[in-house]
Chains A and B, each alone.
Chain A
């Protein structure tokens, strides 16, 4: 249906010096589900609104199927958007809300009704077609907003944090529904969220943004396994990756009195840059709880019980770094230790991530 390309597209809000979106380049394939993720102020919503035509493209361009979108008003772009607050028309019934775009396109009344009913069936809204939005629950309104988008069969779906007003349980449920619906309709979708769990579970590919700059654009597993910099490493994954600055030795890095061995190419690159310290990253699931002396000695600060697992927050007892370093480990045991107890964390599997201490760029593979 549609291929989208951002080509060094920038958006600069009036009265500010730094662009909200800075020379963004993204190529989105036909039928792909792409998630834009980042903390607030990262420009992810602005990037989406530029595609939708709600924000100006000040520099560069965005193309849909090769057609330049600069200066094209949103009503002529054939894009459907689901807003964070749904933006349903309160004066219209559910059916009128969903049929509004078709009416604008000049479709006959009975055909409109047919299309609306089909979309309503898909979203389980048939009973609510004659109600006003005010009479619906949050989840139902969210579905109406989805229905208003899909009834149009547009080239592109834009979704701006469509789940953030739902409660946690409904959010998880709707997340899977939206992903399944998108696969079924096969429409190119750009989805904005600040929730990295949503990004990881829904997207074919995920674009991580920070301060208007694209950090990495890759599949969820690639983001997880080889983040390009310390920001992406810390942003993707929950709980976040442990990032500790540690002094470099000949075999690896020193962490809490013990040496954490590194790969040969990582060491080579550290020496090549002449670095005496590095930021090392270990995911909580890469650490396992052991007896003191069997790894890095730590003292337990907090244990978070989740039923299936527990997260052990602890700080290093022997500190080489100067600043107090805390680590989080994921333990399958329900009783990994008591508060204040000294235990050890041991690296169980997978490579250690190494980042440049100043630029945060990933070193070696």
Chain B
């Protein structure tokens, strides 16, 4: 603010503002137009090179995925041919075989562990993120650091004590052991992520709601949550991906009953020799839920945080 003893007067400023005349924009000369056009053409050339490069890199990343999906629909003998067969009659044999060999149960286990742990993460993480953003408390920074510090230790370093503990309480090969671990694994990231979304919400909204007679719970449910729901969807998606793809805990702490899809995939490599088509079918099945979850969440993400509260 300017010198408090001399507050600026709006009344005194107004006539000045209206006195300023519109600037006269000169028409561009022909020479200028030519120069600009040349620059534009040059610009476009560079742009084409970049987009070609982007396509090449993008296809490079996507190709193995495409190859996997294609192979999943082949017979085993077509999967080995060199040069590769591009024209073939698609078959669902491999999918039938995969599901028949017990992968169905592992997919269900994965789905259950993912859904329950993500729900737990949101149930615990949303209040935590709220407390660490809109209602900051003493030592907020310390708490945040504590959360992220739990991610600093490599999982390999804790797997032996974890195994011992899980064994002692008789939870080996039990899906609930994985649910607890996945919740703990994703919670710090979820809190950090959601906190950044909560920070975008102007704190005056909570105050306005409380002036309007809403309790804190109502204000959060009616005003805050609708605003941060895209952020919550993004966070949930990350949690789903991480838990669905988690391998290390699952391979060490489960055997038969609680085995998850990533662990069962390994079975197709080592146990039954190399069956490319069948492995591809299993991998496709394992990848599909994440792709679907991403696609569902995307619709919500694209809507974005459209704020109109401020100014």
Contacts and interface: CB of A to CB of B under 8 A. Distances in A.
Contacts of B10: 168, 171-172, 195, 197-198
Interface stretch (A113-121, A127-135, A269-277, A349-357): A127-135
A91 B227 contact: yes
Nearest to A243: B5
A104 B5 CA distance: 44
A224 interface: no
A79 B202 CA distance: 20
B4 interface: yes
A365 interface: no
Contacts of B208: 81, 83, 87-89, 148
B306 to A, nearest CB: 6
Contacts of A195: 7, 10
Interface string A136-169: 1010010000001000100000000000010011
A184 interface: no
Contacts of B209: 89, 100
B218 A87 contact: no
A39 B227 contact: no
Interface residues of A, number: 53
Interface in A45-81: 52-54, 73-76, 79-81
A238 B309 CA distance: 33
A336 B209 CA distance: 55
A83 to B, nearest CB: 5
Contacts of A257: none
Contacts of B11: 172, 197, 238
A239 interface: yes
A129 B203 CA distance: 25
Nearest to A171: B10
B281 to A, nearest CB: 44
Interface in B241-295: none
Contacts of B17: 168-169
A226 interface: no
A240 interface: yes
Contact of B212 (A90, A100, A168, A198): A100
A86 B212 contact: no
By CB atoms of chain A within 10 A, which of B16, B211, B226 has the most? B211
Contacts of B142: none
Contacts of A141: 308, 311
B214 A136 contact: no
By CB atoms of chain A within 10 A, which of B5, B10, B218, B307 has the most? B10
B215 A75 contact: yes
B14 interface: yes
A328 to B, nearest CB: 9
A234 interface: yes
Interface string B1-43: 1001111111111111111000000000000000000000000
A75 B1 contact: no
Contact of A75 (B16, B18, B214): B214
A101 B308 contact: no
A169 B11 CA distance: 9
Contact of A104 (B4, B6, B202, B214): B214
Contact of B204 (A83, A171, A235, A308): A83
A126 interface: no
Contacts of B226: 91
Interface residues of B, number: 40
Contact of B308 (A100, A133, A196, A231): A133
A109 interface: no
A81 to B, nearest CB: 5
Contact of B202 (A40, A80, A87, A136): A87
A165 B308 contact: no
B308 A90 contact: yes
B111 interface: no
B310 interface: yes
B205 interface: yes
A307 interface: yes
A85 B210 CA distance: 16
B5 A87 contact: no
A306 interface: yes
Contacts of A23: none
B12 A81 contact: no
A136 B207 CA distance: 22
A80 B14 contact: no
B29 to A, nearest CB: 35
A90 B4 contact: no
A101 B9 contact: no
A79 B307 CA distance: 26
A194 B223 CA distance: 30
A105 B4 contact: no
By CB atoms of chain B within 10 A, which of A85, A89, A104, A240 has the most? A89
Nearest to B215: A75
Nearest to B308: A134
A101 B213 contact: yes
By CB atoms of chain A within 10 A, which of B7, B15, B16, B17 has the most? B7
Contacts of B8: 238
B309 A74 contact: no
Contacts of B9: 196-197, 238-239
Contact of B14 (A38, A172, A234): A172
Nearest to B205: A87
Nearest to B213: A104
Q: Top 5 nearest A-B pairs by Cβ distance? A: A134-B308, A39-B4, A238-B9, A87-B204, A133-B308
17 contacts: A40-B4, A74-B210, A75-B213, A81-B211, A83-B207, A87-B202, A89-B223, A100-B214, A104-B214, A169-B14, A194-B7, A195-B10, A197-B10, A235-B7, A238-B9, A238-B11, A239-B6
Interface of B: 1, 4-19, 202, 204-205, 207-215, 218, 222-223, 226-227, 306-311
